[in-house]
Amino acid sequence: MRATLFLIISILAFSAVKANDCNRVFKGLYTWGAEVNVFQPCGSSDVFWVSASSWVLRPLIEYVKNSISTPYQSIYIEFRGNILNEVRGGFAEQYDGLIRVSEINHKSSHIPAECLKE
């Protein structure tokens, strides 16, 4: 009985941690272009390859296409997601990690001063 109870509590605790990971809010610069799909959090030098469902990514890419004036120009985004601990292949190998975007909360071609690259 104790083993079963411990197992149930462990599963629930793990599920809660995973759910909270997906609810983390990120703010930073998103850059899209040929062979580029990356996010850099404000105040960080880390750059992550972006992973997202097509229903999240398509509107974001359309926004970028309609908002930028030069290729590979960054936009500011705020989103819910999590950093993935997965093996990366292809272009993603060139970056600091992989980040999963679950929901875009805000996007803007105006980049806040605290998020401008040095």
Beta-bridge partner residues of 97:
48
User: Among 2.60.40, 3.30.110, 2.40.50, 1.10.3470, what is the CATH number of 24-115?
Assistant: 2.40.50
pLDDT at 21: 54
The pairing of beta strand 36-41 with beta strand 48-52: antiparallel
State pLDDT tens for residues 84-108: 887 777 878 889 999 999 999 999 9
Residues of the chain with pLDDT below 70 are 1-22, 117-118
pLDDT at 72: 95
Beta-bridge partner residues of 100:
51, 82
**Number of C-beta neighbours around residue 80 at 10 A:** 15
pTM: 0.79
Phi, psi of 38 (to 5 degrees): -130, 160
Burial 1-27 (b: 16+ CB within 10 A, else e): eeeeeeeeeeeeeeeeeeeeeeeeebb
Beta-bridge partner residues of 101:
52, 81
